[in-house]
Amino acid sequence: MAEIIRATRACIHLEALKSNLQHIRAVIPDGTAICAAVKANAYGHGVLPVAKALRASGVEVLGVSSPFEGEQLRKGGDSGRILLFGPTVPEEIPLSIESGLEIMVTGESYLRSLEEALNTAPAEEPVHVHLKVDTGMGRVGCLPEEAVNLAFKISTHPKLSLTGIATHYPSADSEKPEDIEFTRKQVRKLSSVAEKIRSAGLNPGVVHAANSGGIALNSGTAFGMVRPGIALYGYGVSLKLKPVMELKTRITALKKVSPGTTVSYGRTWTSPGNNWIATLPIGYADGYPRAMSNRGEVLIAGKRYPVAGRVCMDQTMINLGEKTDIQLSNEVTLFGPDPAGPDAEELAEITGTIPYEITCGISARVPRVYT
């Protein structure tokens, strides 16, 4: 029996992913390593197929946000370098070590937790450590003036190896003069920290900071490695990028309603005429935002049609107008790379968020189909 795939599905275009990677490589200096962010299930795209495609395209490092994501990659067969972007609770550190992750040390207390974990569950090889320096993000990381002392403690520890120093840019995707200057100030701070570590006779390892915005808008931010995230998936910056995810479904019901008929919960939409209403088997439980109610549009046969009424948990209604050639089972695109229809950026603008949240929000019950 042939496999049945749900009508509502997320098509993941791996060639677009590879194309985006090529565009990123084209704007960074030769020899710059890439740490591809595959955290949060590769921003909703499916971590194992995406990681495999990125590795096949020469990506040196994969970035995750928890040791459980790193463990998933290891169980999926990935044996390459994996960088854990942030700190964890102490109880999770042994899993980071066991999974062979490169660990981001963010301060004195986390370094002590790492040392205690190594005392109780020693690693066969030295654990690779990156030192996170807070140059203006205000989230995690040591102060610049603390960095040399921490670098010394890491470098002289028999079970640790200082592999890199890093920071993060909060506004590198902004073209406002004050934000550009803020990012440049961060670059200068990290450069100064690296130089002080070298002056102390230590090797800081690879210096890295640039996220997607830094790569696209600030050429001097690359250092020795960049960490693209949303740019890989087709959004966020002014490069020639292609959306990788295409959210699609098919029409499950068609009905003609008379003038004055209300549609969906709360009766927030009233038919102005004898209109055809199409029902789609997708709703906010699938990740299609409820905020698209009466505001969003979908693409059917090359033409846009508006959402009619509130988006339900499992269904969404579309107004096809008084006359239509649309039929049952016709394919519908809710967002994707087709310029005729909406993309995740458009949904984000309507709902007051960012495309990251749109793609990450596509739920696990929506199957990913890889092309």
CA dihedral 353, 357, 359, 363 (to 10 degrees): -120
pLDDT over 90 for what percent of the chain?
Answer: 91
Residue 292 confidence (pLDDT) above 80: yes
Q: Which CATH class is domain 245-370?
A: mainly beta
Q: What CATH superfamily is the domain 13-233? A: Alanine racemase (3.20.20.10)
What is the rounded average pLDDT of the residues 32-46? Answer: 98
Q: List, in sequence order, the alpha helices (H) in 278-361.
A: 344-351, 355-360
Q: How many CA atoms lie within 13 A of 75 on its CB side?
A: 8
pLDDT at 358: 98
Q: Rounded to an integer, what is the distance from CA 327 to the centroid of its chain? A: 36
| pLDDT for residue 364 is more than 70 | yes
Instruction: Tell me the pTM.
Output: 0.94
Q: How does pLDDT run across 98-135, given as a tens digit for each residue?
A: 999 999 999 999 999 999 999 987 778 899 999 999 99
Q: Mean pLDDT score of the chain, rounded to an integer?
A: 95
Contact 310, 289 (CB under 8 A): no
Q: Look-up: residue for tokens 């920290």?
A: 193
Cα separations in angstroms, 174 against 21, 158, 243: 21, 42, 21
Query: Which of 39, 189, 242, 248 is labelled catalytic?
Result: 39
Q: Cβ neighbours of residue 350 under 8 Å, at least 6 residues apart?
A: 291, 292, 295, 296
Per the annotation, the verdict on 39 as an active-site residue is: yes
pLDDT of residue 121: 75
Q: Is 185 a catalytic residue?
A: no
Token digits of residue 164: 């890199």
- Reply yes or no on whether the pLDDT at 22 is more than 80: yes
Whether 218 shows a pLDDT value over 80: the answer reads no
Mean pLDDT, rounded, for 213-218 = 78
Phi/psi of residue 152, nearest 5 degrees: -65, -45
Q: Is 52 exposed, middle or buried (0-12, 13-18, 19+ CB in 10 A)?
A: middle
3-state secondary structure of 222: coil
Given a cut of 80, whether residue 242 has pLDDT beyond it is: yes
Q: Would you list the domain boundaries of the chain?
A: 13-233, 245-370
Q: Which amino acid is at 235?
A: Y
Write out pLDDT tens, residues 326-353.
Answer: 999 999 999 999 999 999 999 999 999 9
Indicate which residue of 185, 255, 256, 265 is catalytic. Answer: 265
